[in-house]
Amino acid sequence: MQTQEITQGLFELGQEQLALREEEIRQYTSTVNITKANSYNESRKQVEQFLVEKETVAIDTRALLDIVESPAVVGEEQLAEYANSMKMLEFKFQDISQELWTLLMRNEMILSEQLEELISTFERNLRDMVNNFVESAQSYFTQIREQENIYSELIKDHVVRYQNHLTIRNEDLSALPPLLKTIMADKEAVVTALQTSHDQHFLVIDTREDQLINRIRDWYSDLCAKIE
């Protein structure tokens, strides 16, 4: 496999993995929104039911007050009876208020647990995707290094052959182009230059690999920090 094919494969891998991560994010966002909407709708129904019951208590209370304030009401016994009825309405209002609070807190707790589970699953899935991508990408960079080794050895072989050719034929270096003459005049310098070039190529490959891995891991960490 040639270097161009390897780099093209690495590029296509990146595109495929990007699409998978974007789909995972889309599904996570959709599920979170649906979960929140369901919780909100449930709480809204409970509040609406509370308001209905509250209005019933309010109507009964107003009716009772009208009776108490009526001139027809006489006697302590009747007043005590109405006072007891008023107390019962007060208790009923307290009960429905407490029930609403309990239901809303329960909804909040359930929602919190659901979101926590969704976040945990999302982070785990995304972490697996990132790790798989890194492992696959590293295998491509390994192949690129192998190609660089092959290229470097091939160049060295050609240079040595050419130097030997010049030595065997005892050719005059002055006939060579100026730049080539300068290089061929010192065999050790040629070998050093080739090794330096090889090292520089490896440095570029290593740097690109580190950049890719660091960027994807930083992206993952930043995303997780935003949703927690």
Report the pLDDT averaged over residues 83-102.
93
Q: What is the model's pLDDT at position 156?
A: 85
| Enclosing domain of residue 62 | 3-227
Cα 174 versus chain centre, distance: 63
Q: Among candidates 87, 82, 89, which has minimal Cα distance to 59?
A: 89
User: Between 81 and 150, where is the model more confident?
Assistant: 150
Q: What are phi and psi for residue 172, nearest 5 degrees? A: -80, 120
Q: What is the pTM for the complete model shown?
A: 0.78
Number of domains within the chain: 1
Q: What is the model's pLDDT at position 66?
A: 80
Structure tokens at 55: 């209005």
Q: What is the model's pLDDT at position 80?
A: 79
User: Quick one: 59 exposed, middle or buried, by C-beta within 10 A (0-12, 13-18, 19+)?
Assistant: exposed
